[in-house]
Chains A and B, each alone.
Chain A
């Protein structure tokens, strides 16, 4: 039995504010296999981006990992030294940031930027090897070779995103954290990018954490899905389990609000109304109780323990397993 590539155990990350520490991520646990992909879904403000940044130890100066572990290839990412983390970053774990296509330096050629990514993290390579790898990366992401010399502004949004993906793959990482990689792209381009990501993820046996607010996108690409709200993981399981039989009312709401192309217009009536703002975890109680129709006093008091609906599917709800 292979151990998981990444095992996150009860991770909590908090921000220091004038009124104390606010937990942005509260006791989150999940694992990612080699070649597998986990989709972290949640609305904006639920803490999913913070998890990604926390794993890479790229948190803002007023944020810190409060507790928990993140075991990656035998090391605990939360406690390794900064020096070691620098070696891990990009070589073993790389990241595709949100709105990354704006992150390309407009005054450098694309080829140079990818080369720089390689050289920074593998200084021993000869320039010949770097050039060769740059070319093969471009081939991998299907950008024609003659575009190597172009500047970022000469690329379309989708192509720039491919460059970013190439940069993320530059040093053959074992894990990629992709934070909303397709948000600003058109539907067709988005689909092609997702397809591309899925392809080399499988070819190169890379594990992936796919962070998105769009359940539809995650559902298309990932093998496992974790649903987050206000810093807590509320449901976790394989894709078909979570989508076909969502155990948590919040997940049910997300699934119901997916607009489909089916013959019947979507059922617009059964939605519970989340009018509050998302944000750091509020003390006590289930994070969703304010908007759940079935909330009881127990829900307001404390957060439920994990209930296993199947060996691979767990839910955190007092009423898990009951028929809605």
Chain B
């Protein structure tokens, strides 16, 4: 009788003889994935950094609750009305009208997550669906969709958004989020499409067709799990590019003036001429932007290992 322990492979799974409930299977899968993710150094660093930023974002509600002078937008310290360096009351100092920089940094973290993740989510949802449909349907549908993607891809995102904001005035942050998403989906779609193309003729897809599966089922049940690692990986890239684009927009003065983002902070530094005089004001947002994009990238890389069972570090086959 075969002894299950002679099978090479996943050390985390145990044979189960009790009934399999749907929910516990997901929990089991998550724990399996976590045990793999944990071993990846880059993933751990990335996740730690993200955790830090997450804490920052969550903590962004605290300063103004402690004392209204710490509100990032409206908090004005009655004693200070210009840019000052770090001090006990203001851990990173104040900006040009006396607002606390540290609380602005925390608020910026919140905005970064919000902008980054929602924009990335939208462009991934869009891009993956279009990519899968184009790759699976082939022929005319494929051609039409890909020409559309090409047209959008060659448009310079930043420039177009700048022009639109110049035309329509200052834009709301959510409009910016959607616009970024709408310009960034073609990259995902192309990659997902080529992945789908290579999967389309694989025997397991044909086996599903022979079993009578409908096209929709094949796309969402069979192809999607196989392209998901790629989609999620690209999502982390979209997050990074969304954050950077939003920061650039804000820096250039086209952001949402009611939102405190790191880019907005940089814009204020620059606009008020404090670029070289106030490092305590200039450096934190810049460093944060770099670190958060790096953190997302690292997390994405590590997730690659988890999502594809075959990429895991197995015992070497002879």
| Chain A interfacial positions (CB closer than 8 Å to B) | 15, 17-19, 22, 24, 45-47, 49-50, 60, 62-63, 231, 275-280, 282, 290
B316 touches A62 (CB 8 A): yes
Among the listed A18, A50, A282, which residue makes an inter-chain contact with B318, where contact means beta carbons less than 8 Å apart?
Answer: A50
A280 touches B3 (CB 8 A): no
Residues of A within 8 A of B315 (CB): 17, 19, 22, 279-280
Interface centre among B6, B313, B318 (most CB of A within 10 A): B318
Residues of A within 8 A of B169 (CB): none
Q: Name the distance in Å between A105's Cβ and chain B's nearest Cβ.
A: 23
Query: Given A18-B313, A277-B8, A279-B8, does the pair A24, B318 have CB atoms closer than 8 Å?
Result: yes
B2 touches A17 (CB 8 A): no
Say whether chain A's binding surface is mostly helix, strand, loop, or mixed. loop
Among the listed B6, B313, B316, B317, which residue makes an inter-chain contact with A276, where contact means beta carbons less than 8 Å apart?
Answer: B6
A46 touches B318 (CB 8 A): yes
Residues of A within 8 A of B316 (CB): 15, 17, 22, 60, 62-63
Residues of B within 8 A of A18 (CB): 313
Q: Name the distance in Å between B155's Cβ and chain A's nearest Cβ.
A: 36
A276 touches B318 (CB 8 A): no
| In the complex, chain B residues 271-318 whose Cβ is within 8 Å of any chain A Cβ | 313, 315-318
Distance in angstroms between the alpha carbons of A305 and B211 in the assembled complex: 52
B3 touches A290 (CB 8 A): yes
Residues of B within 8 A of A278 (CB): 318
> In the complex, what residue of chain A is closest to B9 when comparing beta carbons?
A277
B26 at the A interface (CB under 8 A): no
B168 at the A interface (CB under 8 A): no
In this complex, the interface size class of chain B, counting residues with CB under 8 Å from chain A, is: 10 to 19
Residues of A within 8 A of B1 (CB): 275
B317 touches A279 (CB 8 A): yes
B7 at the A interface (CB under 8 A): yes
Residues of A within 8 A of B318 (CB): 15, 24, 45-47, 49-50, 231, 278-280
Distance in angstroms between the alpha carbons of A280 and B6 in the assembled complex: 10
Distance in angstroms between the alpha carbons of A15 and B2 in the assembled complex: 24
B2 touches A275 (CB 8 A): yes
Query: Given A276-B2, A277-B8, A279-B8, does the pair A45, B317 have CB atoms closer than 8 Å?
Result: yes
Q: Name the distance in Å between B41's Cβ and chain A's nearest Cβ.
A: 14
Residues of B within 8 A of A231 (CB): 318
> In the complex, what residue of chain A is closest to B7 when comparing beta carbons?
A277
Residues of A within 8 A of B7 (CB): 277
Residues of B within 8 A of A17 (CB): 315-316
> In the complex, what residue of chain B is closest to A48 when comparing beta carbons?
B318
Inter-chain pairs besides A15-B318, A278-B318, A279-B315, 13 sampled, C-beta below 8 Å: A15-B316, A17-B315, A17-B316, A19-B315, A24-B318, A45-B317, A50-B318, A63-B316, A276-B2, A276-B3, A279-B317, A282-B6, A290-B3
Distance in angstroms between the alpha carbons of A218 and B246 in the assembled complex: 67
Residues of B within 8 A of A276 (CB): 2-3, 6
In the assembled complex, 14 residue pairs joining A and B whose CB atoms fall closer than 8 Å, in A order, are: A17-B316, A18-B313, A19-B315, A45-B318, A46-B318, A231-B318, A275-B2, A276-B3, A277-B7, A277-B8, A279-B6, A279-B8, A279-B317, A290-B3
Residues of B within 8 A of A60 (CB): 316
Q: Name the distance in Å between A320's Cβ and chain B's nearest Cβ.
A: 25
Q: Name the distance in Å between B96's Cβ and chain A's nearest Cβ.
A: 55
Distance in angstroms between the alpha carbons of A276 and B8 in the assembled complex: 10
> In the complex, what residue of chain B is closest to A274 when comparing beta carbons?
B2
Distance in angstroms between the alpha carbons of A60 and B6 in the assembled complex: 23
Distance in angstroms between the alpha carbons of A302 and B3 in the assembled complex: 19
Residues of A within 8 A of B317 (CB): 45, 279
Q: Name the distance in Å between B136's Cβ and chain A's nearest Cβ.
A: 28
Residues of B within 8 A of A46 (CB): 318
Rank and list the top 6 A-B pairs by shortest CB-CB distance, nearest first. Answer: A24-B318, A275-B2, A15-B316, A276-B2, A276-B6, A45-B318
Distance in angstroms between the alpha carbons of A276 and B1 in the assembled complex: 8
Q: Name the distance in Å between B250's Cβ and chain A's nearest Cβ.
A: 46
Distance in angstroms between the alpha carbons of A290 and B3 in the assembled complex: 9
Q: Name the distance in Å between A250's Cβ and chain B's nearest Cβ.
A: 16
> In the complex, what residue of chain A is closest to B11 when comparing beta carbons?
A19
Distance in angstroms between the alpha carbons of A60 and B318 in the assembled complex: 11
Query: Given A24-B318, A50-B318, does the pair A277, B313 have CB atoms closer than 8 Å?
Result: no
Distance in angstroms between the alpha carbons of A280 and B316 in the assembled complex: 9
Distance in angstroms between the alpha carbons of A232 and B228 in the assembled complex: 42
Distance in angstroms between the alpha carbons of A17 and B8 in the assembled complex: 12
| In the complex, chain B residues 21-43 whose Cβ is within 8 Å of any chain A Cβ | none
> In the complex, what residue of chain B is closest to A17 when comparing beta carbons?
B315
Q: Name the distance in Å between A282's Cβ and chain B's nearest Cβ.
A: 7
Distance in angstroms between the alpha carbons of A45 and B316 in the assembled complex: 11
Q: Name the distance in Å between A295's Cβ and chain B's nearest Cβ.
A: 13
> In the complex, what residue of chain A is closest to B314 when comparing beta carbons?
A17
> In the complex, what residue of chain B is closest to A275 when comparing beta carbons?
B2
Q: Name the distance in Å between A216's Cβ and chain B's nearest Cβ.
A: 23
> In the complex, what residue of chain B is closest to A49 when comparing beta carbons?
B318
Q: Name the distance in Å between B231's Cβ and chain A's nearest Cβ.
A: 29
Q: Name the distance in Å between A182's Cβ and chain B's nearest Cβ.
A: 21
Residues of B within 8 A of A45 (CB): 317-318
> In the complex, what residue of chain B is closest to A47 when comparing beta carbons?
B318
Among the listed A15, A22, A62, A277, which residue makes an inter-chain contact with B6, where contact means beta carbons less than 8 Å apart?
Answer: A277
Distance in angstroms between the alpha carbons of A289 and B95 in the assembled complex: 77
Distance in angstroms between the alpha carbons of A279 and B3 in the assembled complex: 14
Distance in angstroms between the alpha carbons of A22 and B6 in the assembled complex: 13
Distance in angstroms between the alpha carbons of A49 and B317 in the assembled complex: 11
Q: Name the distance in Å between B6's Cβ and chain A's nearest Cβ.
A: 5
Q: Name the distance in Å between B281's Cβ and chain A's nearest Cβ.
A: 47
Q: Name the distance in Å between A275's Cβ and chain B's nearest Cβ.
A: 4
| In the complex, chain B residues 82-106 whose Cβ is within 8 Å of any chain A Cβ | none
Residues of A within 8 A of B313 (CB): 18
